Structure 1
Amino acid sequence: MAQLLIVDDEAHVVDRLATTVDWESVGIDQVYKAYSGQEALEQLHQFSIDIVITDIRMPGMSGLQLISEIKRQWPKTKSILLSGYSEFNYAKQAMQFQTEDYLLKPVKTADLLATVERVLLKLKQEWEEVISAQRMTYTLKEHLPLLRASLLQELLQGKLWSRQTLREKMSRLELGDRDWERFSLMAVRLDDRFGEFAEEDMSWKEYAVANMAEELFGGRYSLWHAKDAHDYLIFLLTPKDEAERDDPGWLERTASVLQSAVGVYLKGKISVLVSGAGAFPEDVPGFYNRSITAFRNRIGQEPEQFMRLEEKESEPAAIRSLDCLYEPPALIHLLEAARWEAVEERYKRIFAGVESGVSVSEEHLLEIYFTMASAYAYIAHKNGRLLNETLGTDYNRMTTGMPFRTVQHLREWAFRTLKSLQEDMAKETKDNRHSLIERIRSFIDENVTGDISLQSVADYVKLHPVYVSKVYKLETGENLSDYIQRAKMEEAQSMLRRSDEKVYVIAARLGYQRPHSFISAFKKTFGMTPQEYRDGQPQ
């Protein structure tokens, strides 16, 4: 839904248009009001305004000056001029500022709504153009290296997609003309003098190494590379021709050439590790983790080393690491973002992995438990809660020695505590929002004859007005302005029943600067004028 700002130094015009026109019928969700050009700019700085309807002649900043400033600061915001002056000169200036339309007072509601609807359609078409396939293709090509590296980093860390989804992602990033089935991994560590370069120079050297690799391997293999968290350059290579698979030694020989070329032409040393062939994509994280382990355990800190990742260089079968417990996004981040379904899926994979293992040790159970418990504690404390308040009796298991000795008991505890945490956070969010709505309504009810606006309400609850507006709509199903208007009309009824004050006095007390605006709003709400309502009361 869109947002509209009405600007006019005649307050009754602003109030009447804001309260009596059925803006929702054309897609306007929120209407803001301003009584000067300067006040309009303040509103534009606070809210995301889609359309501005402004008078031309106003004290201080004119409507033309206002739309000129809007064009400069908010080029996507559309402007409609509304004025009683029909001179051609104004219309010509309006066109120079690319004003969407020029309407004369008094404007008919149907004409105004038709104009706003047309402008909203134009806005929609402009945004569709921004996200059009052609524009996206251009932007994609501009950022291809970064996007490719990001996808590879996720693969290295073990993120899973369906084969079809991954194929589509790779296709969009132009990663080869054929499906990747087999691959080899090459890890490159920049050694020695490379560490002496400044960060920007280092980036250039990394770029140069990647280009040299593309030059050497690109004739026979498709390459895909990224820089990992350890500052290694990780390359995946898949053969362009089936015949290349018959000569696995070519990869190692060419990797050795790359090592020599970097020394000669970049005056630096690199260590290189090359793997054998693996199945894509399922073997990618395993090959990567084994390569990093080999760098740590076999190559060490010695510069300009070269080795092949052998098939036998894997973890001992008796002791397995729980990789899925740490894969990105981390468990703590999933909980922080309240991604409950993703957490449940992670738990299922963790326990499926444990149960499929040859041996499950007490240490594995402790590792899972400590990871989950620390994530729970972090989330509870970040929300200003104690964990024992959230988990109840399940918290007691956490303070008594070895809490779980079987996978079954740990699994039951994990899912049960996750549900408790989810319910507690949902209740707290609901309670906080309910409390906020009550505070907002109390403020409006107590100040219905004073300055009541979205900004004044937001100032009272010390929150941003956009957030206040959205939360109120989310929780109640109506706009905050509707509640303010209803509160004013209910107070107007009460005033009309219990006092003999003139209608214009009641209008002023309710914040209407023109009695006509008050009468129009009252009639729209109750189907009769204030005087007709008063006359119909029993004596």
Structure 2
Amino acid sequence: MDKYKVLLVDDEEEAIEAIRLKLEWETLGFEVIGSANNGVKALELVERLQPDVVITDIKMPYMDGLELARALNEDYQNIHIIIFTGFDEFEYAKEAVHLEIEEYMLKPINSQELSECLKRLKKTLDNEREEKLNVKKLEHYFNASLPMFQTNLFISLIEGRITEADCEKFLAAYQIHMTGPLFGCAVFHTSEHHVPEGMNALLLSMSVEQEIRERIAEKWKSQMFTYLGNTVLVMELNSEEEAVAFTDDCDRFCRWAYRVMGAVVTAGIGRACDSLFTINQSYAGAREAVSYRVLYGTQRAINIGEIAPTEQEISVQSEDTKMHALFKTINLGSREEIEKAAQSEIEKLHRNAKTVSQYKLATMEMVGAFYRFCANNFIDFKDYCAEVENPYEKVPEMDESTLKGWLVNSAVAISEELKNARNTTSRRIVEEAKGIVRDRYMQPDLSLDTVCSELGVSNSYFSSLFKKETGKTFISWLTDYRMDHAADLMLETNEKSYKIAERVGYQDANYFSYVFKKRFGMSPSKYRTEH
């Protein structure tokens, strides 16, 4: 079997050579494929050589061992890291447990200890390799679990919890090959209150489910699963007319189930749709169709498109009163976008309200939606309803232009309040971070982690916030702040570069010079001379 590849990183060539010679690498199951004298060079070699293990010293120029470990964890999570550290750095190194270091070893390195460490590491690597190579085992597990994955996906689809972007990806991953061109949903409900004497309700339901599988699901191109106590079918259809034939088939099955099994089964069939992403609409129609059994009777199939076309349209349009688009623009949009969304709400209102009573009810629902939205955002709608004292009473009496003006003014006022609250919070956090830098820029351990910990925010949130407010990453801003102070000290004092480096938070004078030159285009000494 191939040996595991090791990259050695230390700024002392003698240390690297000593490690090469002290260990019987081949016997241990490893081979040294290269070495680097700093973290920057090590990253270049990692990308090119793809080692399994990186053994690195902590204290190095340009990029130390912990910074290297952090970079490897971000981009090469499969690489195992061993760190060498001096006694005075040991506690500092141990604090970096979140870097997932494999081992910390004190210098000078004992070859026996390092050999034992590599033996332990080889067992870990062997286990990882065995797991990766065991493709058949993974394939067997996936294939055995595939029906469960498929069922979970279809449940997510009928609940409307899958985004359009993810839908095709999941269908392909779970090997669901349904091409349509149309799709439909059917819900089979077996009554628990009409069970033949001597028969258990659960057993009867299971028997019906098995018969549905054999008589319906296998005949039609469909996926079948159980959800909320009902049997659900999602099927492919070639045309709208085929949905009629499917309904007839389900109707015959319901009558057969009662005649032969004594089971009272009602099948609800939803409208056909043109993609699996919108199958939740067909499922909603199928469930509604089942509920019509109280009017049309049981032991039959009910197609929602045949018996309740107008009711179905109204139920879909009732979602309009929630004003999702308008509330989204209040949160994120400009005044122009708010006005456009408000106009759309007015048009929907006038399109759907056929009577004065319906108009008044819809406008009252609109007011209620505003109250709920404001409450969810911890503000009082009374303060932002455009000086209308009793909106439930006054808004339904407004004409179209007055209603639009009220809607826009209220939405804009709420939007400004939300944006001000967000901006105030953002500015406060950024200013507090800058204050921490001003007070502690001279401390070498000041970092993104320490600032976020002190502010009580996550790294990702703070980083995006800081970049948005300042146009720079936090590390860039901290580095520039330190370099600006260093430049001032160069001109205002006669201190040597390494002293100035320490005063602005750099323990390594070489690295300080490297960063200074990157910032100002010249070395510290040349900067002092020229200025």
The alignment's TM-score, normalised by the length of structure 2, stands at: 0.60
Shift of 1:440: 1.6
Instruction: Pick from 383, 406, 429 the counterpart of residue 436 of structure 1.
Output: 429
C-alpha distance in 2 between matches for 1:21 and 1:478:
27
Show structure 2 runs of 5+ residues with no match.
1-8, 13-36, 48-55, 123-131, 133-140, 196-200
Q: Partner residue of 1:377?
A: 371
For residues 335 and 44 of structure 1, do their structure 2 counterparts lie closer, same or farther at Cα, with a shift above 3 Å needed?
Answer: farther
The 5-angstrom pairing of residues 210-249 of structure 1 reads 210-225=209-224, 231-235=229-233, 249=248
Q: Partner residue of 2:75?
A: 50
- Contact kept, 8 Å, 1:184 with 1:236, in 2: the verdict is yes
Instruction: Pick from 168, 179, 182 the counterpart of residue 181 of structure 2.
Output: 179
Q: Which amino acid aligns with 2:440?
A: N
Larger RCO (CA within 8 A; separation ≥ 6):
1
The 5-angstrom pairing of residues 200-349 of structure 1 reads 209-225=208-224, 231-235=229-233, 249-258=248-257, 270-274=264-268, 280=273, 284=282, 287-288=285-286, 290-295=288-293, 305-309=298-302, 313-314=307-308, 321=314, 323-326=316-319, 331=324, 335=328, 338=331
Aligned pair 1:144/2:150, yes or no? yes
C-alpha deviations, 1:17-75, integer Å up to 9, x for none? 7899999xx9xxxxxx9969xx999999999733589674224799xx99xx99xx97x
Shift of 1:498: 3.0
C-alpha deviations, 1:304-332, integer Å up to 9, x for none? x4245388743888x98453333899949
Please provide the CA RMSD for this pair: 6.1
- Contact kept, 8 Å, 1:222 with 1:238, in 2: the verdict is yes
C-alpha distance in 1 between matches for 2:254 and 2:436:
72
The 5-angstrom pairing of residues 347-496 of structure 1 reads 354-357=349-352, 360-389=354-383, 391=384, 393=386, 396=389, 398=391, 400-404=393-397, 406=399, 410=403, 413-414=406-407, 417-450=410-443, 451-496=445-490
C-alpha distance in 2 between matches for 1:472 and 1:247:
58
- Contact kept, 8 Å, 1:519 with 1:529, in 2: the verdict is yes
- SS of corresponding position for 1:309: strand
- Contact kept, 8 Å, 2:385 with 2:391, in 1: the verdict is no
C-alpha deviations, 1:326-370, integer Å up to 9, x for none? 38999499749957699999978766655445x623443344334
- SS of corresponding position for 2:222: strand
- SS of corresponding position for 2:84: coil
The 5-angstrom pairing of residues 58-69 of structure 1 reads 58-59=85-86
C-alpha distance in 1 between matches for 2:407 and 2:283:
26
- Contact kept, 8 Å, 1:259 with 1:272, in 2: the verdict is no
C-alpha distance in 1 between matches for 2:67 and 2:194:
55
For residues 312 and 465 of structure 1, do their structure 2 counterparts lie closer, same or farther at Cα, with a shift above 3 Å needed?
Answer: closer
- Contact kept, 8 Å, 1:213 with 1:258, in 2: the verdict is no
Aligned pair 1:524/2:522, yes or no? no
Aligned pair 1:497/2:487, yes or no? no
Q: Which amino acid aligns with 1:467?
A: Y
C-alpha distance in 2 between matches for 1:483 and 1:403:
54
The alignment's TM-score, normalised by the length of structure 1, stands at: 0.59
Q: Partner residue of 1:513?
A: 507
- Contact kept, 8 Å, 1:149 with 1:225, in 2: the verdict is no
- Contact kept, 8 Å, 1:351 with 1:411, in 2: the verdict is yes
Shift of 1:482: 1.2
Q: Partner residue of 1:302?
A: none
Shift of 1:220: 3.5
Shift of 1:481: 1.0
C-alpha deviations, 1:142-169, integer Å up to 9, x for none? 62222233323449xxx998xxx99999
- Contact kept, 8 Å, 1:503 with 1:531, in 2: the verdict is yes
Shift of 1:444: 1.0
For residues 388 and 499 of structure 1, do their structure 2 counterparts lie closer, same or farther at Cα, with a shift above 3 Å needed?
Answer: farther
Shift of 1:432: 2.7
Shift of 1:253: 2.2
For residues 220 and 96 of structure 1, do their structure 2 counterparts lie closer, same or farther at Cα, with a shift above 3 Å needed?
Answer: same
- SS of corresponding position for 1:522: helix
Q: Which amino acid aligns with 1:325?
A: S
C-alpha distance in 2 between matches for 1:520 and 1:144:
56
- Contact kept, 8 Å, 2:223 with 2:233, in 1: the verdict is yes
Shift of 1:217: 1.2
Shift of 1:254: 1.4
C-alpha distance in 2 between matches for 1:336 and 1:47:
41
For residues 168 and 54 of structure 1, do their structure 2 counterparts lie closer, same or farther at Cα, with a shift above 3 Å needed?
Answer: closer
Aligned residues: 444
Shift of 1:489: 1.3
C-alpha distance in 2 between matches for 1:372 and 1:493:
61
- Contact kept, 8 Å, 2:338 with 2:412, in 1: the verdict is no
C-alpha distance in 2 between matches for 1:485 and 1:178:
58
Please identify, of 165-174 and 142-151, the stretch whose mean Cα deviation from structure 2 is larger: 165-174
For residues 515 and 247 of structure 1, do their structure 2 counterparts lie closer, same or farther at Cα, with a shift above 3 Å needed?
Answer: closer
C-alpha deviations, 1:357-402, integer Å up to 9, x for none? 5x6234433443344434433343343333344x352655626445
User: What is the percent sequence identity of the aligned residues?
Assistant: 13
- Contact kept, 8 Å, 1:440 with 1:457, in 2: the verdict is yes
- Contact kept, 8 Å, 1:225 with 1:234, in 2: the verdict is yes
For residues 515 and 353 of structure 1, do their structure 2 counterparts lie closer, same or farther at Cα, with a shift above 3 Å needed?
Answer: closer
Q: Which amino acid aligns with 1:180?
A: L
Shift of 1:494: 2.4
C-alpha distance in 2 between matches for 1:95 and 1:431:
55
